[in-house]
Structures are given as C-alpha cells and as structure tokens.
A and B are shown apart, each in its own frame.
Chain A
Amino acid sequence: MFIGRRRRSAGGEAVRFAHCLSRNITPLPSVELLGGTPAHCGPPFPPMGARRETVGACAVRALAGRSTRVRLVLAAGSRSAHGGEHGAGRPYPRGGLRCAQARRGLQGGTDPEAEEIVQQLIENSTTFRDKTEFAQDKYIKKKKKKYEAVITIVKPSTRILSTMYYAREPGKINHLRYDTLAQMLTLGNIRAGNKMIVMETCAGLVLGAVMERMGGYGSIIQMYPQGGPVRAATSCFGFPASFFNSLYEFPLSKVDSLLSRTFSIETLPSESEDNIPAEEESNGSLDEKPASIQETEEESTTEATMEGNQTEEQETMDLAAEDTENKESKEKGNKENIREKQRKQQERRKKLVEAAALLKEKNADGLIVAGRFHPTPLLLSLLEFVAPSRPFVVYCQYREPLLECYTKLREKGGVINLKLSETWLRNYQVLPDRSHPKLTMSGGGGYLLSGITVVMDKGKSDAGRLEAQKTEEPTSKKRKLEELHS
C-alpha cells in the first residue's frame, strides 16, 4: 500500500514511488520505508556522500536527477545477526530502513557493511581455507552479492509507470499497453495549454500521462464514475502541487443533467447539501447501467486476482482504501472534524461548479476515454463538450465495443476521420550476428478509436438521427456491396 497518500509534496510522491518501485526489486515492507524521517521536498538534502540519509531523501534526489542508486543497510542487529552461515533466504531489511549512501554512478564503490559480513563469514567458515583460490573468489563474490542490497530509485515518468503497470498489474489499467498509451497522447494532440476532458478507469495512469504531457499548462477535467476519481497511479508521478490546481473532476452521473441544462450553478448548492458520496449513491437515474458496470468490475477483479500476485492484492486494498476515504468522511461525521469536513466540502463544491462551468463552455480541445466502460454512451455524451476540429481518442481492451461506437458515431455525425487501430510491438535481441525478434511478444495492447470533431450540419444531424432510428439496413447493404466489389 502506498503511504502518505494525502501528502501532496514532491517528497511524499517520491516516497510512494520509491516504495512502489522497490516492490519490483525486493518486497520491502512498506512501513519501514517511512521508518526514517519523512522526506521533504527541496533542500536541505544531506550533502553528497553523507553517511546516512533516508530512502525518502534519496528518492527526492532521484526526482531532481534521473536516478539514484542507493544501498539499503540493515539496522544494527539484523543483517549482522546473520554473521554465521545460515540457510535462510536473503535477509530483508527490518525496521529503521536506511540507505547509508546514495551512490553516484553505476558500478564502483562497495558496500562496506556487506564486506564486513563477508569477512565474518570467511572467518567463521571451516571450509574456506581449504578451497582453491578460484573457489575462494567465487565464494566471496557470491556472498557479496547476497549481502549487498542496492536498489535504483528512478525518477517517475509516463514511460516508467506505464511499462511497470503493464508488466506488473495489467488488470489495473485494462491491459493498456504503453505503446498504445503513447499513441493516445499523440492522437489526442495532448500538449501544453489544452483544455482536456479525460474519462479513464486505468488507475489514473492515463490522467497522469496527460498531465505530464501538458506540463501544468491548461486544464483537465476528469470525469469519474461512482466511487470517485481514482488516482493511484497519478499520485506516483510526483507532480508539483500546482499541477493539481488546474485539475477538475466531474461526476459522470451529472453529465446528463448538465447537457439537458437541468444542472445549473444556481440549483447546485442545495443539490449538494448532502455530501458528495451520498449524492452519488442516491443517483439511481442511470437505471440498469450501474448493474452491468458492477459485473464488469467484478470480472476485471477476478482477472486481476487470477494474475495472482501479491502486489495486486495490495493495490486492491489501496484502491479500496481510497474508496473508503470518501465514505469515511460521510460515516464519521463527528463534531470534531465537522468544520474541516465543511471546509473541504465547500472546496469540492466550488471545484465542481468550476468544472461544470468549464464543461458548459463546450470548447474542450480534446477527449480521452479509456477503461472498462462501454465507450458508446460515453462518447455520444462527452463529445458534446468538445469544440469542433478537435481530436478524440477512445481506448478499449476489446475491439467489438469500438466497432459499435464507430457505427453510432457515423450515424450521429459531427465526426470525421474515424479510425480504428491497434499497434503491434516487437522487442529485439540485438547481438553481433545474432539479432532477431524476441521469442515472445505481447499478444495485444488494446484498440483505439480516434477521430476529429467537426461542426455538425443541423439538417444532416437530424437526418442522421432518423436514420439511426430506422434500421441501418441501407448502409449495411451498401457496405455489403462494397465488400463484394473489393
């Protein structure tokens, strides 16, 4: 589980990321990462070569540079307790986890404590002296490797996070492969100064990627389903707090009322008298849709569990924790934090009003949709908020919903250059005279439907709707003919 979720400082992000990354290397218990003093962003950092600093501080430095290699040193008594030979696995650092030294450079430099341990092992070994020189060397190397704990803390980025998520927790991001995400960012023309609408259920990875590409310039409105916006991955990017000032969120369940103008800023305050989670729960106006959504959710959860990996579980808990965070505030409702609650509510309401206002301008520079919801209803509604001549991209793990979405958008009109695509990604082994594609490749990274909005001709759109009401037989007949001729 990530720690310090609420902290927004770069330091906090770094610690979370450091932990998240460390899971890739050794399963370090999370508590211990915070065992040191919490990281702060900005100086004073311990000077280079300082004997001891916390992992958090190293991570912060990693944020400043691109990567920092740190050696994890066990607190007194843990690693050295293994002075004698033992059959246990690699000892993981316990309590008070610290890195004694952030090492610049890749090789070079040794871990003095590891050497000490190895020296002890040699002294206690009854067989060492009888070994040949070669065997002794081998022994030392083996032991050194065993007792040296070096991890690399890497500066987070879309590249790192998307490859990591795809490799480790694809279920969390609807199997969105990183090269597919790369296509989305380009097709969506994500850049500084845009006003983007993002609707995703990929743990906040897509949102993070969009935020990174916009560099804090422009604004983003995140549309979210029941349960609130998920930003587990977003919080790993280590964005400065200012990036979140221009990030708005708006509940999907209010889209219809916003479009039909029943949602007005004047009526809003009374509407949101209750706190927000309750408001969402009571909103049953989406008829059966939520049910089917839940089914899918269940499915994806099972899928995730089937991938059977402990971290998966951890993250699920993490997400659950985030959900309860919302509910918590509702359930507690006690006097002590009531003022804080009210202040937060006030803030959220203000942001909600702002988000509604931004959407109502109907001049967004693009729309990005990715996740487990059927794309058709999302696109038909959300495209209304997008200005003409702007790109939109929809990601779906499966092709069929996009086929339908394509057809519906064609019927409705107002879009051109609709393109359904996927990318194939192949890795290579490159060695002199022995270069070839790797033996395995990813079987699929999901599908994209992209297009450009255009001003809709009123008459034509009505005709389009009419046509949509009828069966689409005429078009399909024509297509069939086309097929025959081609």
Chain B
Amino acid sequence: MSFVEYGDTIQEGDTAIVFLGHESMFPVKVQHGSKTQTKTQILYSTDISLITMMLELKPGSIVCESGTGSGSLSHAIIRTVAPTGHLYTVEFHQQRAEKAMEEFREHKVEHLVTVKNQDVCKNGFGVSNMADAVFLDIPSPWEAIGHAKSALKVEGGRFCSFSPCIEQVQRTCLALEEHGFTEINTLEILLRVYNVRTISLQIPDLGKAAEDNSNPGFDSSNQANQGVMCGSQQQGTAQFKSGVPLREMVGHTGYLTFATKSLS
C-alpha cells in the first residue's frame, strides 16, 4: 500500500478504514483467503462487561475459557486479571489456537495466558481445582460442565456459558443442576444507543388571537423541559433535545447462563 499514490482497488496487504457511520470507523488489514480466515463470531463489549462482573473477575483471578475463537473475550479477561492472574484458554481448532497465541505474543500478554489445543468436552481445561471462574462459548457447553466443575477451586467459583439458542441453554442448565451448581441464572443484555439530536416541532396554528403571543400552556411546561420556543409571527416551532434510538439495533447476541460452584 502506498501513502503517496491513489489506487483504484483495495489490494492484498492494504489497511483499509471501514466506515460504518458517524464516529464508527475501523482499520482492517486486507488479506486474501489465507489459512485461518474463517473468523469466528466474537463477543462484544456489552456482553463482555456483564460476563466480567458476574464472574467476579479482578486482578489475580485464575480463569478458564473455551473456545478461544478470535480471542476477543480472551483479551478482555487478560486485561482484567493482569498483572497477577492467569487465563487458560482451550481451542480445538489448531489454526485458531496458533493464531491466538501469536496475537497474545504480539500484544505482550503471553505470560498471562496459556493456550491449549484440545477438545474441552473430552479433555477439559488441563487444570484442576485452580480456577476462580470458567467461561464457555462452544456449541455444546453441557458436555463440558463436568470439566468446568473440576477446573474450579475446591472452595468454589463462578461459571458462565454463552449460547445463542435457548435449546442449548436448557441442556446446559440441566447439566449444571446435575453437577450441583447453585445460583443458576439465565439472562440477556441488550445495548440501546441513542443519537443526540436537536429536534424542532412546529406549533400548529389554531387561530389563536393575535395578541395572545405568550402561548400559554406550552411556554411554561415546555420551557421546563428545556424546550425553546422560537415564535415567529405566523408559525412557532418548539425545539428540544432528544435521544433518538437507532433505527435498527442488535436484538440478540446470546443468552448468558451464570452459576456458582459452592464448597463441597
């Protein structure tokens, strides 16, 4: 890519800026179908926030996670448990596991994370009685509940599973109950963003007497609501600030199921 010449098309290796709208731009490295380009669905900040708090993550926490996927949540967890905690993340897709390791190295956090390339449902997390929290984002979380339980500390810990489908949640909750987890709770969080706009609405002319220009009824109440009346001779407008919801928003990412392992 050249900074001094224009190109007609985006080329391999370019960094393009994706403009998704006002103040929503992302740099994207352009790569043609190299080996690992099947990107996984990642978790975003709204879900991550709730997961982090409900798993009680903080500096020093030991956390187990599967699958690593694109490492979006992994990075968030690492950031929270640093400088003394550790993340054990399990990914059975070899290229993804390798790519994640590469990224952790690149971001200088490799000392805070261990990537294991194995099937979490068969082989677990590779640690036992060590974790403060376990997180699952795999298609069949119910098959990994036993491993989650044994990875958690003896004195207990927190568990979370993220699943897009309610059927997955049902099976997971059953498995959690069978394994003696308590405080089983499923919830969903949605982010609503508002655009701040100044809106003007016309005041209808109801043929009020000309001398009555104080617009009783509007003036008092509207002024209190930050409304500003810009009355001209014939027609007035009422102006106000509004938080306008987006025309379309993310309506579903996944269900979050939390549970607690207690002392046993």
The interface of chain A, by Cβ under 8 A from chain B, is 64-68, 104-106, 157-159, 162, 178-179, 181-183, 185-187, 191-193, 209, 212-217, 399-400, 402-404, 406-407, 416-428, 430-433, 435, 437, 447, 472, 475-476, 479-480, 482-483
Q: Is B40 in the interface zone, CB < 8 Å from A?
A: no
Quick one: closest A residue to B225, CB to CB?
A400
Contact A67 B192 (CB under 8 A): no
Q: Is B213 in the interface zone, CB < 8 Å from A?
A: no
Within 8 A of A (CB), among B92-115: none
Find the residue from B166, B199, B262 having the highest chain A CB count within 10 A.
B262
Q: A430-B169, A479-B198 are in contact. Are A192 and B83 (CB under 8 A)?
A: yes
What A residues does B257 contact at CB under 8 A? Answer: 430
What A residues does B242 contact at CB under 8 A? Answer: 403
**A-B contact list, 30 entries, CB within 8 Å:** A65-B156, A67-B263, A159-B53, A179-B50, A182-B52, A182-B53, A183-B49, A186-B48, A187-B49, A191-B79, A192-B82, A215-B84, A403-B243, A404-B241, A407-B241, A418-B196, A421-B193, A422-B191, A423-B192, A424-B192, A425-B187, A425-B188, A428-B169, A430-B166, A432-B174, A435-B169, A447-B243, A479-B197, A482-B197, A483-B197
Give the shortest distance, in Å, between A315 (CB) and chain B (any CB). 23
Quick one: closest A residue to B48, CB to CB?
A186
What A residues does B28 contact at CB under 8 A? Answer: none
Q: Is B139 in the interface zone, CB < 8 Å from A?
A: no
Contact A420 B264 (CB under 8 A): no
Question: Residues 154-171 of chain B: 1 if any A CB is under 8 Å from the residue's CB, otherwise 0?
Answer: 011100000000100110
Q: How far is the CA of A399 from the CA of B241 in the complex (A)?
A: 10
Report whether over half of chain A's contact residues are helix, strand or loop; otherwise say mixed: mixed
Contact B156 A66 (CB under 8 A): yes
What B residues does A67 contact at CB under 8 A? Answer: 156, 260, 262-263
7 extra A-B contacts, CB within 8 A, seeds A191-B82, A418-B196, A430-B257: A66-B156, A182-B52, A191-B79, A417-B23, A423-B46, A427-B187, A428-B188
The 10 closest A-B pairs by CB, nearest first: A215-B59, A65-B155, A476-B198, A182-B53, A186-B49, A428-B186, A66-B156, A182-B49, A403-B241, A192-B59
Q: How far is the CA of A417 from the CA of B79 in the complex (A)?
A: 22
Give the shortest distance, in Å, between B111 (CB) and chain A (any CB). 14
Q: How far is the CA of A409 from the CA of B16 in the complex (A)?
A: 30
Q: How far is the CA of A65 from the CA of B152 in the complex (A)?
A: 12
Partner of B196, one of A104, A157, A192, A407: A407
Within 8 A of A (CB), among B169-189: 169-170, 173-174, 180, 182, 184-189
Q: How far is the CA of A453 from the CA of B89 in the complex (A)?
A: 34
What B residues does A68 contact at CB under 8 A? Answer: 263
Q: How far is the CA of A114 from the CA of B68 in the complex (A)?
A: 50
Partner of B54, one of A182, A216, A433: A182
What A residues does B223 contact at CB under 8 A? Answer: none
Q: Is B13 in the interface zone, CB < 8 Å from A?
A: no
Quick one: closest A residue to B132, CB to CB?
A66
Within 8 A of A (CB), among B120-143: none
Q: Is B60 in the interface zone, CB < 8 Å from A?
A: yes
Q: A215-B59, A479-B197 are in contact. Are A423 and B54 (CB under 8 A)?
A: no
Q: Is B147 in the interface zone, CB < 8 Å from A?
A: no
Contact B54 A432 (CB under 8 A): no
Q: How far is the CA of A417 from the CA of B193 in the complex (A)?
A: 12
Contact A215 B198 (CB under 8 A): no
Q: How far is the CA of A210 from the CA of B229 in the complex (A)?
A: 43
Give the shortest distance, in Å, between B75 (CB) and chain A (any CB). 12
Find the residue from B82, B180, B255, B263 having the highest chain A CB count within 10 A.
B263
Q: How far is the CA of A461 from the CA of B184 in the complex (A)?
A: 52
Q: Is B219 in the interface zone, CB < 8 Å from A?
A: no
Partner of A159, one of B48, B56, B180, B264: B56
What A residues does B218 contact at CB under 8 A? Answer: none
What A residues does B166 contact at CB under 8 A? Answer: 428, 430, 435
Quick one: closest B residue to A471, CB to CB?
B228
What A residues does B174 contact at CB under 8 A? Answer: 432
What A residues does B255 contact at CB under 8 A? Answer: 428
